[in-house]
Amino acid sequence: MEESRRTGVQIPSGPPTTLTEYCPAKTRNVFTKDFYPAFGISHLRDKSLSRAKAFGRLDLTKPLGLRQFERFFGITSREGPEAWKSKYKSVQNLLDHLSRFGKSESSKEVYLNQLRRLCEWLKLDPDQLANLPKHKIEESIQKFVDQTAGLNRSRAYVNSMIKRFRTFFHANNKIPKLHAYSIPPRYRKRPEYIPTISEVRAMAAAAESLRNRALILAAWSSGVRVSTLCALDYGDIAKDLNAGCASVQIPVYPDMKRRLPDACKGNIPYYTFICREAVEALRMYLQDRSEKYGPLSSESPLFHAEWTLWKRKERSDKRLGRRTVAKVIRRAAKLASISQWTCITPHTLRKAFESVLRNPTVDGGRMDKGTQEFLFGHILSGSQDAYYDKDKIDFHRKEYEKLNFFDTPITQSVEKVIGSDVLEKYLGEGWLFIAQLDNGQIVVRRTHPA
């Protein structure tokens, strides 16, 4: 056994036989390199900490350096003509393959990180791995993923590893036969809890700041993914907010990936809205923020970070992170006395918004399924998406404003039996056709706020 100079962790000599041996256990006094691979930063705060550096070592004013997988594969840049160029031919084949399907930096990071772990475990470079005989590839990868599954990883995660390894070998003209894991229906490794409307409102009321309250209401009433929420700028919503719109448009577009790689999933542009209460909470938060830190520019992040290691004048220009959003939501759920608060995440708020889309609207009707899918950021099935009119913002705003963001019905309905000769008149007044009786008379209904 050897001792690492950096961490003091005992490292076995010779090739690893298990993943537990490859990834030594972390202790309270040791923060091993897989947590902060680029810097090897200790998690214990240095008492002589400089305010300009996180944990005394990371300069917050400078861009982050190359990540571990980038250095491992000889990638020297993420921008410019040399962006995403690897010194290994097999890795470059993979990157070229991924670029034909999209330019998501997040996907490249996931693929290359998992490939790096496999190469380090086998003690081979990627070109050597790609040139192994087919039976050796199958044997090595199957053993690697089986041991990963043995570390209590979810079956879906293990299958995603197999899929990415297949892609790597497919890009290098090899198709190994790998056995995926069976996933039962409704299988979830991590439990989740979708809060009800009243519970979301309780979370917003329990939020510990104006920012957190606006954040929870905006995440819930828009249904956007957490990366999209973090990537929003003030300029994205300023026009509707300053115009006094009851529901403010939230645009999602591919250029947001320049701010966060996951901001626009699948490069699918769409837009949604936030409800009246979220608009008021957002307006109060932005007003308070402007008084504290000065006026906002169109490029200011909509939700800013409050990390005290930033100087006060810098905080308003620093973007909120996904992990902070998750902590804010769980903390609010705990303060709201929700018993399953540990199972509430930003994604469960997105699912709570989906429930609102499917519930009856304030006029007693139901939102069209195509409109639901569009406001949720999904592609419509088959050829429907090509024919769906996505440009009618006013139509979608009116449909959105019919959604019921309250637990109890806030409308009442009146039904009448009328003659068929006056049906057209009633339809013009907003009544809905319900049924025709055997005697030829018509049942109509009109719904209005209670």
Calculate what percentage of the chain has a pLDDT beyond 90: 48
Find the DSSP H helices in 54-88: 68-72
**pLDDT one-digit tens code per residue, 213-236:** 999 999 999 999 999 999 999 999
Question: Which of 230-239, 316-325, 350-359, 441-450 shows the lowest mean pLDDT across its residues?
Answer: 441-450
Average pLDDT over residues 190-202: 92
Say yes or no to pLDDT of 36 above 50. no
Through-space distance between the first and last CA atoms of the chain, rounded to whole angstroms: 75
Whether 277 and 288 have beta carbons less than 8 Å apart is answered as no
Nearest alpha-carbon partner for 23 in 111, 110, 151: 151
Question: Which of 29-38, 48-57, 116-125, 153-162 shows the lowest mean pLDDT across its residues?
Answer: 29-38
Contact residues for 380 (Cβ-Cβ < 8 A; gap 6+) = 370, 373, 374, 388
| pTM exceeds 0.75 | no
Confidence of residue 33 (pLDDT cuts 50, 70, 90): very low
Strand 10-11 vs strand 248-252: parallel, antiparallel, or unpaired? unpaired
Nearest alpha-carbon partner for 61 in 254, 271, 311: 311
User: Rg of the Cα trace of the chain?
Assistant: 27
Distance CA 160, CA 198 (A): 36
The better pLDDT of the pair 433, 123 is held by 123
Question: So what's the pLDDT on residue 22?
Answer: 41
* Residue 70 main-chain phi, psi, to 5 deg: -70, -45
Say yes or no to pLDDT of 38 above 70. no
Whether 69 and 112 have beta carbons less than 8 Å apart is answered as yes
Question: So what's the pLDDT on residue 429?
Answer: 85
Average pLDDT over residues 130-141: 92
Average pLDDT over residues 265-290: 92
Contact residues for 135 (Cβ-Cβ < 8 A; gap 6+) = none
* Exposure of 170 in the CB half-sphere (CA atoms within 13 A): 11
What is the distance, to the nearest Å, from the Cα of residue 221 to the centroid of all Cα atoms in its chain?
15
Average pLDDT over residues 385-399: 91
